[in-house]
Structure formats: C-alpha cells, structure tokens
C-alpha cells in the first residue's frame, strides 16, 4: 500500500517531536562535558533548529524512497523473472517454466532465444 505525502509528513513530524525531547536532554547532559555551557533557552532554540532540519531531511528521504519503490513497481517486465538457470513466468497464482528457454548447466548461463541449439 502506498503512503500518501501527507502521512509521510505526519510520520516524520511525530518522529522528530519525540526526538526533540531526547535531543534537548542530551544537549543538557553532553555539552558541559565538552566545555559548552548553554542556558535552557539556548538548548531549546538549538533543538528547534535541528528539529526543522530533521523534519525536512526525513520527509525528503521518505519521498525519495517512495519514488524509487513506485518506479520499480512500474518497470515493464511482462511478469518474467530470469534467474541464471531457470527463466520463470509468474502469474497471479502460479509459476511455470517458459517454453523454448534453455540453460547451459556447465556454465550456469541461459539463452532466451527460442530455437537456438545449445551444445
């Protein structure tokens, strides 16, 4: 099932909101270890900037992977899956070997050319 753009954004925002609290708490604990002393207000502002960047990054990556998934689903292959030894045609409920396809068992290569003689 395809995820809508709106639901991609909602998921990304929910993920980042939860991460925002974790990030601010981590900043409060970790910054002093590196000699960085910030106020709570500064931590909240920095967290907000990182949150906006994170929302955009998460949304764009989600859309990229969705576009890849949709493009691969649309590739025309006539339902034919060719493995190195056994070309198969997949129908909705069954699979069957394609007639006229031969495989050279000694090399593990196959020929999709009908009527071609193999040694």
- What's the rounded mean pLDDT across residues 20-32? 92
- Reported as a single tens digit per residue, the pLDDT across 43-91 is 999 998 888 888 788 789 989 998 888 888 876 665 555 555 555 555 5
> Are 82 and 110 a contacting pair, CB within 8 Å?
yes
d(CA 54, CA 59): 8
Residue 20, Cβ density class (10 Å: 0-12 exposed, 13-18 middle, ≥19 buried): middle
In this structure, how many other beta carbons lie within 10 angstroms of the beta carbon of residue 84? 10
Query: Any residues with CB less than 8 A from the CB of 39 and at least 6 apart, and which?
Result: none
Q: Is the pLDDT of residue 5 over 80?
A: yes
In a 13 Å sphere around the CA of 113, the CA atoms on its Cβ side amount to 6
d(CA 48, CA 23): 10
d(CA 67, CA 74): 11
Stronger pLDDT, 104 or 22, i.e. the higher one: 22
Alpha helices in the chain (DSSP H): 5-30, 40-74
């Amino acid at each position: 099932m395809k995820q809508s753009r709106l639901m991609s954004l909602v998921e990304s925002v929910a993920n980042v909101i939860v991460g925002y609290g974790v990030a601010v708490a981590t900043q409060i604990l970790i910054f002093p270890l590196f000699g960085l002393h910030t106020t709570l207000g500064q931590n909240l502002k920095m967290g907000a900037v990182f949150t906006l960047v994170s929302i955009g990054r998460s949304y764009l990556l989600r859309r990229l992977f969705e576009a890849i998934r949709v493009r691969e689903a649309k590739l025309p292959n006539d339902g034919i899956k060719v493995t190195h030894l056994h070309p198969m045609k997949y129908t909705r409920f069954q699979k069957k070997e394609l007639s006229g396809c031969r495989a050279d068992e000694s090399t593990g290569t196959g020929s999709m050319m009908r009527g071609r003689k193999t040694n």
